[in-house]
Structure formats: C-alpha cells, structure tokens
C-alpha cells in the first residue's frame, strides 16, 4: 500500500484552476486525510509507504509531526520530489538532482532516516532520474503505471481541455510505459521502461493482467462494488500487488473545505467519505482473506532483489 500525499494545489495545476486553494483546503491532505489513512491502516495491521512532497513539510509543523509519528510506527516515508513538477523528467539533470536532494533532506529530517524510495509525479520515469537515484543509493523507484486505459483517458482529457483553451498542468508521458513489465524488475539505466541490470528495483503500480486496467485508489472508489471486487481479485492473483492511493482519496469535500470548482472536476470528491472508506476497508479485508502480507515498498523491493520477480 502506498499513498501519494499530493497537496490540493497539485490538483489545481492538473485542472488549470485559477488562483490558490483556500487555506483549509491547502493543508487538508496532511492534516485531514492523513489521519484517516493512519486509522484505516491500523484497523487492518497495514504498514504502508507514504510518498511525501518535500516542500509540504516546510511550513506545516502539524503535518510534520503526524508523518514523524507514522515513521516511528513502522510506516515508510519515501520521496515524491520537492515541488511535484509534472514535467519533472524534462527538467534536465541539474534541476532533477535539486528536486531529489531537497526532498531527501526534508524527509530524512522528518523521518529520522533517509528515504530509499522514489515516485515521480505523473507516473513518468526517465534515464536521468534513474541515474540520479542510483547516484544517491536509492533502493527502488515506483513510478511506472503500465495501464493503457489510464494513459488513453489522460490523453483524451488533456486533448479535450486544449480544445476549450485550458492547458492542463499535467504532462502525457512516453507511450513506452504501456509495454513496461507489470511485475517488479530491474530497469535498464538508459531505458527504464525495459528490463536491464541497473542496481535499483522498479515496482510498477498495479494493473490487471492482459487488459491492464488500473487498480488504484481512484478506480476502486469510482467502480461499482462488483467491478471493484473483480479488479482487486485480479490484482491479488499476482505475487506482488502495489496498490497506489492518493491522500485526497480520503477527503471529505464539505468538512475539509474543498472548493466547488475542484469538486466539480474530481468525481471522487463527490463520493461521501463513508463510501470511500468502505471501499478501501473492503479491499484490505479481501487482501487479508486471500493471505496477503502488507509491507512498506522498501521491504517489497528487498524481497524483489532476492526473489524471482526481479
């Protein structure tokens, strides 16, 4: 289980909303959603990985305290860059290094141990990024999301936004991701969507076999229960199920002060919190019933290095 703690401002950039989020919404992901994940995971005995955006720790002592508590409780804090730029892989090596180093320092100070895992914004990876992670001794990357359904939907939405004169802050990455392995693998340093021998493990985000439907928080929350259970059962048949969630998945739009313009564009924000919690509770119970063992991604990467997956 991993949770990307993208702040509400990230969703403003994706949907090209003007201005900045109101104060309550600005800090809602760390202050309101994160405690709900902590309770959800405690109910099912889950130790998870939280992907932290470094700059969100700068001016939020309450968020820092909560994340430090989670790290002490056996959860992992990993890096999701310092400022979450959607064009991260295109920034050039110097700025890529800077994003990784600043996040690294902020997360290490918060967790008490340096991060060993990384996830790029927008599910895109490149050789520059793998090089930078290798140079810093990172154990794994988990940015690859090899889903044609997701890729196609994103391309359509971005094209539709362009035709009405709105430029999404998001970036459509290389279609090479569609052919990437579904299971943990050692990437080629020069072509990280392919198998190779780099001294790092790629942990792809879960998709179903064959059809490669996305099995992430958003799809589990929006799918009708029968489809959600099918998606989860399909993902549970693999030896490794890398379920990616987002902090905003457990937002309560009204209570957390989510702006109407954002709620209008994010269908998951229109689902009641109780519905979303039930979908995730049901998923974790199904995983336990299937004999799954939950581990932070750093431990999964270690197992992948030794085991048959890599």
Instruction: Please state, in angstroms and rounded to a whole number, the distance separating the CA atoms of residues 253 and 172.
Output: 28
Q: Sign of torsion, CA 261 264 267 271?
A: positive
Output 29 or 287, the one with its CB closest to Zn ion: 29
Closest of 105, 117, 45, 36 to residue 76, by C-alpha: 117
Q: Which of 1, 2, 5, 6 binds Zn ion (CB under 5 A)?
A: 6
Q: Which of 4, 124, 249, 256 binds Zn ion (CB under 5 A)?
A: 4
Closer of 29 and 215 to Zn ion (Cβ):
29
Tokens representing residue 169 in the block: 């802050």
**What is the residue-wise DSSP string for 137-202?**
T--EE------HHHHHHHHHHHHHHHHTT---S-----GGGGGS-SS-BPEETTEEEEE---SSEE
What the block records as the tokens of 246 is: 């987002």
Kindly determine how many residues on this chain lie close enough to bind Zn ion according to the rule CB under 5 A.
3
Distance CA 220, CA 36 (A): 17
- Residue 84 CB, shortest distance to Zn ion, in Å, is 6
Site string for Zn ion, 94-133 (x = CB under 5 A): ---------------------------x------------
**CB 80 to Zn ion: min, Å:** 6
Q: Which is nearer to Zn ion, 296 or 309 (CB)?
A: 296
Q: Is 76 in the site for Zn ion (CB under 5 A)?
A: no
Q: Is 257 left (phi over 0), alpha (psi -120 to 50) or beta?
A: left
Phi-psi label, residue 169: left if phi above 0, alpha if psi -120 to 50, beta otherwise: alpha
Nearer to Zn ion, 4 or 76 (CB): 4
Please check whether residue 14 is in contact with residue 37, taking contact to mean a CB–CB distance below 8 angstroms: no
Minimum CB distance to Zn ion smaller for 6 or for 141: 6
Question: Which residue's Cβ has the minimum distance to Zn ion?
Answer: 6
Smallest distance, Zn ion to C-beta of residue 272, A: 24
Question: Smallest distance from the beta carbon of 121 to Zn ion, in angstroms?
Answer: 5
Nearer to Zn ion, 78 or 295 (CB): 78
Binding footprint of Zn ion on the chain (CB under 5 A): 4, 6, 121
């Amino acid at each position: 289980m991993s949770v990307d703690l993208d702040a509400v401002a990230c969703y403003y950039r994706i949907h090209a909303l003007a201005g900045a989020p109101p104060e309550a919404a600005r800090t809602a992901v760390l202050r309101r959603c994160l405690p709900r994940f902590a309770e959800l995971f405690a109910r099912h005995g889950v130790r998870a990985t939280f992907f932290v955006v470094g700059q969100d720790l700068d001016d939020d002592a309450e968020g820092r305290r909560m994340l430090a508590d989670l790290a002490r409780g056996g959860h992992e804090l990993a890096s999701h860059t310092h400022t979450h730029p959607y064009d991260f892989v295109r920034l050039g090596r110097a700025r890529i290094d800077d994003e990784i180093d600043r996040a690294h320092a902020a997360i290490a100070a918060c967790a008490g141990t340096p991060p060993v895992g990384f996830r790029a914004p927008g599910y895109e990876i490149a050789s520059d990024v793998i090089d930078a992670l290798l140079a810093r001794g990172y154990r794994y990357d988990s940015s690859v999301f090899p889903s044609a359904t997701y890729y196609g939907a994103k391309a359509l939405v971005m094209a539709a936004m362009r035709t009405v004169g709105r430029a999404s802050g998001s970036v459509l990455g290389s279609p090479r991701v569609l052919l990437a392995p579904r299971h943990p693998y050692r990437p080629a340093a020069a072509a990280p969507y392919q198998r190779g021998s780099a001294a790092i493990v790629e942990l792809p985000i879960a998709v179903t076999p064959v059809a490669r439907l996305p099995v992430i928080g958003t799809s589990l929350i929006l799918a009708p229960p029968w489809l959600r259970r099918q998606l989860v059962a399909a993902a549970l048949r693999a030896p490794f199920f890398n379920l990616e969630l987002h902090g905003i998945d457990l937002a309560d739009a009204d209570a957390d002060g989510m702006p109407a313009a954002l709620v209008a564009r994010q269908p998951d924000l229109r689902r009641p919190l109780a519905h979303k919690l039930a979908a995730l509770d049901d998923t974790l119970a199904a995983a336990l019933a299937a004999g799954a063992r939950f581990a932070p991604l750093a431990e999964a990467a270690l197992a992948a290095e030794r085991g048959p997956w890599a």
